[in-house]
Chain A
Amino acid sequence: MADVSLKNLHKTFDITEAVRGINLDIVDNEFLVLVGPSGCGKSTVLRLIAGLEEITEGNVLIEGNIVNDIPPKDRDIAMVFQSYALYPHMTVYENMSFGLRLRKYSKNEINKRVLDAAKILNISELLDRRPKQLSGGQRQRVAMGRAIVRNPKVFLFDEPLSNLDAKMRGQMRTEIKKLHQHLKTTIIYVTHDQVEAMTLADRIVVMNDGIIEQVGTPDEMYNAPKTHFVASFIGSPSMNFIPCQVIKTNEDLYIKINDKLYFSVPKERLDRYKVLINKEAILGIRPEHLTNAKQHIHDMYEDFNAKVKVLEPMGMDTMVFFDISEAEVCARCDPKSVGKVQSDMTFTIDKSQIHLIDIKTNKVI
């Protein structure tokens, strides 16, 4: 129920700079996911918003007010921790009502809010138990309940699902999504799992090495990554990267993989790729855009041959691995038309889905 802004945010621990100039505007009711590999500073950003770490430089604004020097309790935020951080000596009810009791709410109000939250989260029968008597998923719900009862302006989630098993994680993911639809509040969610990011987020922020690589909707992240890092981080199995060169012959551009393999650059992209002429580049293509030979329904398709190295049947698709000039490449093929290992096979590349990355800047052109 509030917008949050980060202005040129820096955080330095001793000598290491964990966060190096973050600018971000999170709008009201948005579900924003911060994603990145461990150590990229995403949790630190969350803790800076929460007020658990002191800001080295820059500002955090909640509803337009600078909150740098306001203690966590007065920022009207709630946080769900990775370890849940439930008070072990308190019952579930006491855990959930702790914040309200400290804020001197009336008994009736506390009771009403806790019971309501418990109902939403389906933990009404657990209110008398202690955290030790709960399963991981139940503890997770209680931790969320503790956040919900306060009805805060902003919810902060710090890798809340990483301690759960895969099945539970999937369930809780849906629950969190439902919760957001129900509560209509601003959520800032940190995770290292790009699947979580893709499924939950209204907008994703990919962080790496203390800076923002790209901000965008899950769709943008997947289909139009702006940097090498984002392209490699989002998507599973991840994008293939093949070293290449862009060469010009007459008025046409070609992507030269090696002496035998060339792809012509589609007309729409001629202008875009001009800057790369005669430069080293990387061709990025997702496995689903490399398939077994297909009928060419438009001129974006182009065929090439390669020797099958490994097959990974997944049921619906079969992942076919092969080498192109020393890069291992994965193609997602129809199981029915997959060749044998060590045999030659014809693949079709969808050139409308390629990404060319400038080696010098690591940017997608």
Chain B
Amino acid sequence: MSKLKRKYSNGVRSSSFFIWLRQRSTIAFIMCVPLLLIVIGLVAYPFLYSIFLSTLNKAETEFVGIGNYLFLFKRETFWLVVKQSIIFALVAVFFKALIGFIAAHSINTIPSKGQRKWRGALLIPWVIPPALSTLGWWWLFEPTYSALNWILTEFALPTIPWLSETFWARFAVILVNVWFGAPFFLIMYLAALKSIPEHLYEAASIDGASSIQKLFHITLPMMRNIIAITVLFSIIVTFANFDIVRVLTQGGPLNTTHLFSTYAFRVGIESGDIPLGASVSLFMFPILAILAFIILRNVRERALNS
């Protein structure tokens, strides 16, 4: 028996490669190769290369270790950017989630016939490329000739230098980000709302809950999952936002609207210090990695619980 087996395996040695090829795991791996190449080429390589870049001097001729990072720590502008990024992300996400929730609730209460129209209309900001729509907003914010200040003048109110005063520039950047991002929350929350069984609300009405009590005892707990995930996800995306600030203010006035990515672009590309720019953008990494970790853990835990 064992002889036969050996003989058999010797005889088909040339075809053992094909047997290996036909194993499920091999096929799976081969099918993943294109994706792996894309991830390596577009994520892993740039990431590792930017780590390497961040350890060089401005002329990229000398290894300086963590010199660039130490330099950044001493720069006031850098800490301003850190503060701004955090404020920007938290405030924008809070309002996106709030507005998305209110809009989802309102749409959910109207009869299903009319829902499609509203859903479609409210999704428009989300489907326009943000660089384009921001250009539109930029026009609206234009101080002398444009709509917003014209309205203020019509009501005999003082005009606002939208993009040239720190508070209003930050306000404008956040406003546009909220305008662009709220529809995402809207659809996520609408889907979550629709998945809550009607019977729970009926049982709650009989148990004696008012609308507010239903919101806090049924709706919010049932949506806890999706709220946590969308908020964390949105914090990551908002934190790394680039196009809105880039188009609207270019980080001005006096760097007071810069975020990590726009600041990295300013330092690295526009000022020509690529290693320093790489160091700025790498600062985002640990922050985003921690958030992503929290999300994944959250998802897994809740998946296990349910």
Identify the A interface with B (CB < 8 A): 50-52, 71-73, 77-79, 81, 83, 85-89, 98-99, 102-103, 132, 146, 150
**CA A3 – CA B268 in complex, angstroms?**
81
**CA A57 – CA B214 in complex, angstroms?**
29
Picked from B200, B209, B221, the residue with its CB within 8 Å of the CB of A85 is B200
A–B complex contacts, Cβ < 8 Å, 16 sampled: A51-B205, A72-B202, A72-B205, A73-B209, A79-B202, A79-B203, A79-B206, A83-B199, A85-B199, A85-B200, A85-B202, A86-B203, A87-B217, A88-B306, A98-B207, A99-B208
Q: Contacts A81-B199, A102-B213 given; indicate if A87 touches B218 (C-beta within 8 A).
A: yes
The residues of B that contact A50 with a CB separation of less than 8 Å are: 202, 206
Picked from A71, A86, A89, the residue with its CB within 8 Å of the CB of B222 is A89
**CA A51 – CA B202 in complex, angstroms?**
10
Asked if B129 is at the interface of the complex by the 8 Å CB criterion, the answer is: no
**CA A146 – CA B199 in complex, angstroms?**
14
CB distance from B12 to the nearest CB of A (A): 52
When the two chains form their complex, are residues B199 and A73 in contact, meaning their CB atoms are under 8 A apart?
no
Q: Is the interface of B mostly helix, strand, loop or mixed?
A: helix
CB distance from B109 to the nearest CB of A (A): 16
**CA A81 – CA B197 in complex, angstroms?**
12
Picked from A51, A88, A102, A146, the residue with its CB within 8 Å of the CB of B209 is A102
**CA A146 – CA B204 in complex, angstroms?**
11
Closest-by-CB residue of A relative to B198 is: A85
When the two chains form their complex, are residues A77 and B206 in contact, meaning their CB atoms are under 8 A apart?
yes
The residues of A that contact B224 with a CB separation of less than 8 Å are: 89
**CA A103 – CA B93 in complex, angstroms?**
36
**CA A73 – CA B203 in complex, angstroms?**
10
CB distance from B55 to the nearest CB of A (A): 49
When the two chains form their complex, are residues B203 and A81 in contact, meaning their CB atoms are under 8 A apart?
yes
Identify the B interface with A (CB < 8 A): 197, 199-200, 202-209, 213, 217-218, 221-222, 224, 306
When the two chains form their complex, are residues A73 and B306 in contact, meaning their CB atoms are under 8 A apart?
no
The residues of A that contact B217 with a CB separation of less than 8 Å are: 87, 98
When the two chains form their complex, are residues B197 and A85 in contact, meaning their CB atoms are under 8 A apart?
yes
CB distance from B112 to the nearest CB of A (A): 13
**CA A77 – CA B221 in complex, angstroms?**
25
**CA A223 – CA B221 in complex, angstroms?**
52
When the two chains form their complex, are residues B205 and A71 in contact, meaning their CB atoms are under 8 A apart?
yes
The residues of B that contact A103 with a CB separation of less than 8 Å are: 208
**CA A50 – CA B207 in complex, angstroms?**
11
When the two chains form their complex, are residues B205 and A89 in contact, meaning their CB atoms are under 8 A apart?
no
Closest-by-CB residue of A relative to B207 is: A99
Q: Contacts A85-B197, A89-B222, A132-B306 given; indicate if A102 touches B207 (C-beta within 8 A).
A: yes
**CA A52 – CA B207 in complex, angstroms?**
12
**CA A79 – CA B207 in complex, angstroms?**
9
CB distance from B215 to the nearest CB of A (A): 13
When the two chains form their complex, are residues A52 and B221 in contact, meaning their CB atoms are under 8 A apart?
no
The residues of B that contact A78 with a CB separation of less than 8 Å are: 206
The residues of B that contact A83 with a CB separation of less than 8 Å are: 197, 199
When the two chains form their complex, are residues B222 and A73 in contact, meaning their CB atoms are under 8 A apart?
no
CB distance from A69 to the nearest CB of B (A): 14
When the two chains form their complex, are residues A146 and B207 in contact, meaning their CB atoms are under 8 A apart?
yes
The residues of A that contact B199 with a CB separation of less than 8 Å are: 81, 83, 85
Closest-by-CB residue of B relative to A103 is: B208
When the two chains form their complex, are residues B222 and A88 in contact, meaning their CB atoms are under 8 A apart?
yes
**CA A79 – CA B197 in complex, angstroms?**
16
